[in-house]
Structure 1
Amino acid sequence: MKFAAIADVHGNRPALETVLADIAALGIDEIVNLGDHVSGPLEAARTADLLMQRGFPSIRGDQDRILLELRQAGVSARSDFRQLEPKHFDWMASMPSTLMYRERVFLCHGSPKDDAAFWLDHIADDGSVRPAGITAIEAGAEGIDAGLILCAHTHIPRVVRLRDGRMVVNPGSVGLPGYDGKVPVPYVVEVGTPHACYAILEQVRGGWSTMIRYVPYDTATMAALAQAKGMLTWASAIATGWVQREGK
């Protein structure tokens, strides 16, 4: 069993197209998608159209959930919300929050019980983002009967082997290699490269083999689009992999 895992596309269609081409060139036919498909100032509708066309096994991320909540409220000034059509919202609404893939792989966005959780990493009191401890990670995996667990949300690629032999893998972000946040304290995530990122998973004798793959693409158009919409953090992250904070 060999397949690719993508996550956190965030409306970056050029990055997605490049990753899908790279996966095809490697002869991999199966792809799973871990959510946060379209949110942000980029190309929400065009990205949703491509993902809908491809029909990958997919789950709903926290930002997908928030867009659906905005739909229920009926109005939003957000750029992504205004791009989306009813068919796009219906597509996201059809997705589960978690999924067991081929009876062997558990898919979630943040953690199995919280789509907005930092699971393999945590935000320290000083705002630094650090790898989480094994005890906390194992607590989040309690009750999950799968040898491989895939998560996303942080955009930080990570591979963790639990002490019982299960693997937890975050494939990183296809479309957004850096961002900032305010909860629980102000923090910044920076991957340090603008490359699109995904993972290749293969079941081998003795467990799972994992490859985190970084793919270069032309970032200029999406960085310029984010800049034009006043999203300096997004523009700098897409262009460089590093975050220039708003107003600095």
Structure 2
Amino acid sequence: MRIALFSDIHANLPALEAVLADMDQQNLDAIYCLGDLVGYCTWPNEVVAEIRKRKIPTIAGNYDEGVGLASPNCGCAYKSDMEKDLGQQSIDYTNHVVTEETRQYLRMLPRHLRLTFMDDSKQENKIEVLLVHGSPRKINEYLFEDRPDKSFLHMFAEAGADILFFGHTHKPYHRAIAYEQEGQTRYRHAINIGSVGKPKDGDPRAGYVIVELTPESNLTQLNSIKVEFIRVDYDVEKAAQAVEASPLPNEFATMLRTA
């Protein structure tokens, strides 16, 4: 079973189109989107239309929630007054340009999806997968890579999850966290799938993840759950110049170019 997951498109249609074209070449069994379809770039309606056309199961991000509710607040965390001002311009612009059809779609997106994988001949191979945008607790909680193991394991236990896929920070990583159960070492997996349309890890290419599960995949064998981070080139200049030609702040164009 080969599953692709992507997140944080942020109205960047050229990046989304490049990622979907790459996925079309990957022999995938399923595709999931973890939200934040809109904000920061100029194609919110077109991005939503493409996701809907392909019938990709999608959950809400904090930006989708804000725009879906026609709120002036995206639920983002800002480190400075300048960042806050730029963010306000982004959500004001997005609220102005989205159609009512787009807004209704965003408003009705589910907040999480749960998947259960199990080999019926091997009950011990049951794997619970949870898809969220920020965290199982809050749609806009940031789960950074340096979060302590103990905190992650507590979150997994509360959520009843063995594999947690999430986005929101725009910085991809995979952490396999060991724990003991009935005298056996097992692993839970925290996987941040990065960002399609607004990376923040120094690589401006669009990003997504492919996870591969087989009948042999289990929680006791560290490498039996395979996670591959994919980066895709796209026309960054097209997106950046569209921002510069719009009422959006030019700073967003610079962010696209430099990640």
TM more than 0.5: yes
User: Which of 1 and 2 has greater Rg?
Assistant: 2
Does the 8 Å CA contact 1:35/1:60 hold for their aligned counterparts?
yes
Q: What is the DSSP-based 3-state SS (H/G/I as helix, E as strand, rest coil) of the residue aligned with 2:191?
A: strand
How far, CA to CA, are the matches of 2:63 and 2:248 in structure 1?
20
1:97 lines up with 2:111 in the alignment: yes
Check conservation: 1:106, 1:149, Cα contact below 8 A.
Answer: yes
The residue type paired with residue 148 of structure 2 is: G
Give 1:137's match in structure 2, choosing from 149, 152, 162: 152
Q: Once the two structures are aligned, what percentage of the paired residues are identical?
A: 26
Runs of 5+ consecutive residues of structure 2 not aligned to the other structure: 74-88, 118-127, 180-186
1:63: which partner in 2? 63
CA distance in 2, matches of 1:138, 1:120: 14
Given the superposition, is the C-alpha separation of residues 132 and 146 from structure 1 closer, same or farther in structure 2, using an over 3 Å criterion?
Answer: closer
Q: Show the counterpart of 2:234.
A: 217
Moved more, 62-71 or 49-58: 62-71
Separation in structure 2 between the aligned mates of residue 68 and residue 47 of structure 1, nearest angstrom: 15
TM-score, normalisation: structure 1: 0.81
Displacement of 1:146 after TM fit? 3.2
**Is residue 2:135 matched to residue 1:111?**
yes
Structure 1 pair 46/119, CA: closer, same or farther in 2 (3 Å)? same
Q: Say if 1:41 and 1:231, in contact at 8 Å, map to a contact too.
A: no
Q: Report the residue type matching 2:34 in the other structure.
A: L
**Does residue 152 in structure 1 map to residue 170 in structure 2?**
no
Q: Which moved more, 1:149-158 or 1:40-49?
A: 40-49
1:233, 1:111 → 2: CA distance? 28
Deviations along 1:178-227, whole A, 9 cap, x unmatched? 3xxxxxxxxxxxx1111000000011434421001111111101111223
TM-score under structure 2 length normalisation: 0.78
Would the aligned equivalents of 2:59 and 2:111 in 1 still touch at CA under 8 Å? Answer: yes
AA paired with 1:234? F
What per-residue deviation string (whole Å, max 9, x for no partner) do you get for residues 82-129 of structure 1? 2211211221122111111356421101100111111134xxxxxxxx
Query: Pairwise CA RMSD of aligned residues?
Result: 2.1
The reply to whether residue 236 of structure 1 matches residue 254 of structure 2 is yes
Letter in 1 for 2:20: L
Q: Which moved more, 1:229-238 or 1:52-61?
A: 229-238
**1:80 Cα offset (Å):** 1.5
1:231/1:72 Cα in 2 relative to 1: closer, same or farther (>3 Å)?
closer
2:191 maps to which residue? 169
Structure-2 residue corresponding to 1:184: none
Kindly provide the CA deviation profile for residues 24-62 of structure 1, in whole angstroms up to 9, marking residues without a partner as x. Answer: 111214110001011223211111111111111111111
User: C-alpha displacement at 1:144, in angstroms?
Assistant: 2.5
Distance 1:102 1:140, change over 3 A: closer
C-alpha separation in 2, matches of 1:60 and 1:221: 26
SS in 2 for 1:163: strand
- Report what 1:24 is aligned to: 24
Q: Which amino acid aligns with 1:92?
A: L
